[in-house]
Amino acid sequence: MIPLRDEMPTHRTPFVTYALIALNVLVFIFQYLFSAGDPELVYSFAMVPALVTGNYGLWPYLTIFTSMFMHGGLTHIGGNMLYLWIFGDNVEDAMGSGKYLFFYLLGGVIASLTHILTSPNSQVPTVGASGAIAAVLGAYLVLYPQSRVVTLIPLGFFMRVTLLPAVLVLGLWFVLQFFQGVLSLGGPDVGGVAFWAHIGGFAAGFLLAKLFATRRQPQYWERW
């Protein structure tokens, strides 16, 4: 399932969400232009769990933040920015821009720490905003449980666009991440998706959403 947009309006312009999307895109362009012939540039700013747990100084800890704005390819950044575009504006609307920015970064940190705890000796560089965006998805599920999402469903050679409850779209996303995360435990140290970062970020957003939200959330029938 590919979400296209939600039906929940916002009451203020989501400047932070727009800025986060722009910053991620700019960093990705920088990666493409300057690191094609120098992969060490990417590795220097990616988060490597073994370096964080191995007492190699302050810099490995700072890569928890730098890695949040890097991506491994067009599909990676495209999918992440699509989810941030659809769900981030409403979460920012509920929290206010300042709290939302702190919440986003905190979610990314918790996601990275979850990945480190489950793979403390991994030497595979980790990049992506997925953990922070997973926190946004968890918060959206708490704050707008009655929202509906316009979703593209591939059916073989056919595509169908339908309206689905956000609980179903985001709930299935989390279940898939959890199932794949459990299967990855104890597996070989190879490159791939940091499923536990997604799980940790989503759980953090789900648990912290009401703490950060300042605006009364409209009921679904009040959205117009």
What pLDDT does 182 receive?
85
Which pLDDT does position 41 carry in this prediction?
76
CA-wise closest residue to 94 among 145, 129, 130, 131: 145
- The model carries a pTM of 0.90
Which residues lie below 8 Å from residue 46, measured CB to CB, with a gap of 6+? 63, 66, 67, 70, 125, 126, 127
pLDDT digits (tens, 9 = 90+) for 105-118: 999 999 999 999 99
Instruction: Classify domain 2-222 at the CATH topology level.
Output: Rhomboid-like fold (1.20.1540)
Q: How does the average pLDDT of the chain come out, rounded?
A: 89
DSSP state of 123: -
Q: What are phi and psi of 185, to 5 degrees?
A: -65, 130
Strand-pair partners of 151: 3, 162
Enumerate the β-bridge partners of residue 164. Answer: 149
Does the pLDDT at position 221 exceed 50? Answer: no
What mean pLDDT do residues 73-87 have?
A: 95
Domain layout of the chain by residue ranges: 2-222
Band (192; pLDDT cuts 50, 70, 90): low
Tell me the torsion sign for CA atoms 115, 117, 118, 120. positive
Per-residue confidence (pLDDT) for residue 163, from 0 to 100 = 92
